[in-house]
Homo-oligomer: A and B are copies of this chain.
Amino acid sequence: SRNQALGWLRQMLLIRRFEERSAMLYQNQKIGGFCHLYSGQEAVAVGSIGALREDDYVITAYRDHGHALARGMDPKFAMAEQLGKAAGCSKGKGGSMHFFDADKGFLGGHAIVGSHLPLAAGVAFASKYRNDQKVTICYFGDGAMDQGALHEAFNMASLWKLPVIYVVENNGMSMGTQLHRHSCLIDLTIRGGTAYGMPGVAVDGNDIEQMAKITLEAANRARAGEGPTFIEAQTYRFRGHSMSDPMKYRSKEEAEKAKERDPIVLYESLLKERGWINGAALEEMHEKIKVEIDEAIEFAENAPEPELSALYEDISVAPYLPQE
């Protein structure tokens, strides 16, 4: 529908803007640690999460800003987290790689490659255990295809027909290593689908409506008790692996060509074609988002640092006893 489409475009623009400003804040050393930007892959998160229900579960890796925002996390709390503030979505304790939002069913933000794939199966296991009809969607990169955790999680997810959707965001690079240099097969649907007896579907991850369509089919299968689906979303990251990556492995030409398939540009023109939006309205949308992100940054910058006493808080539910 038109409203949905405009909402998706808006979310993609919000993510793009959020990432561009995050890059600047990182360069000004307001954001620390490792910061992995989602620019270029927006259609994957927005399209797939857009096809799910509000009470479904979402879990991803360290490149998590896009998924969190697509899930509806307030950019204020996302930005505050990157600035390490108490108002951050993880109280400033997680940082860019460890976003969490329990209210939105957003289960992180996980920075050990592959380690969240079993968690996703576990969340889906809980849904099956309770028969709550919820679906869990789990995102990870092509580099995570090579972690043993994937193998173990996929075998059990398939064996037990867990309601989980595994989405590999194949951006062709595991940090600085091209797919053909780290994966024994280029067709990841064989490695992730065929190998475990689950449907494996490749989709253009820059085509947001395709992304949504495939995800919806997978979600229906999951809810029908037919088990997991593996989706290979083929996409491209515009920025370096993290903010500290000079991208020596990439030619200007390659980068330029990729920009032609910018998921946002593609969708904007599609919606224009359909007459669902015009230049003026688009202008306005960009403006609004600009303001929203400015406000998020202002909020984050003015938000208070956590108290030093927070160091010992949130470690355990029981009163925490430091062993010092």
Contacts and interface: CB of A to CB of B under 8 A. Distances in A.
Interface in A160-212: 181-185, 190-191, 194-198
A176 to B, nearest CB: 16
Interface stretch (A144-152, A258-266, A296-304, A313-321): A144-152
A126 interface: no
A198 B196 CA distance: 16
Copies in the complex: 2
A159 B147 contact: no
A191 B197 CA distance: 9
A81 B158 CA distance: 42
Interface residues of A, number: 25
Contact of A148 (B149, B183, B195): B149
Contacts of A184: 154-156, 158-159, 196-198
Interface string A116-149: 0000000000000000000000000000011111
Contacts of A191: 195-196
Contacts of A198: 184
B159 A152 contact: no
A152 B158 contact: no
Nearest to A160: B184
Interface of A: 145-152, 154-156, 158-159, 181-185, 190-191, 194-198
17 contacts: A146-B151, A146-B152, A147-B148, A148-B150, A148-B152, A150-B151, A155-B183, A155-B184, A159-B182, A159-B183, A159-B184, A185-B196, A190-B197, A191-B196, A194-B194, A194-B195, A195-B195
Q: Which 10 A-B pairs have the closest CB atoms?
A: A148-B148, A151-B151, A195-B195, A158-B184, A159-B184, A185-B197, A155-B184, A184-B197, A184-B196, A148-B151
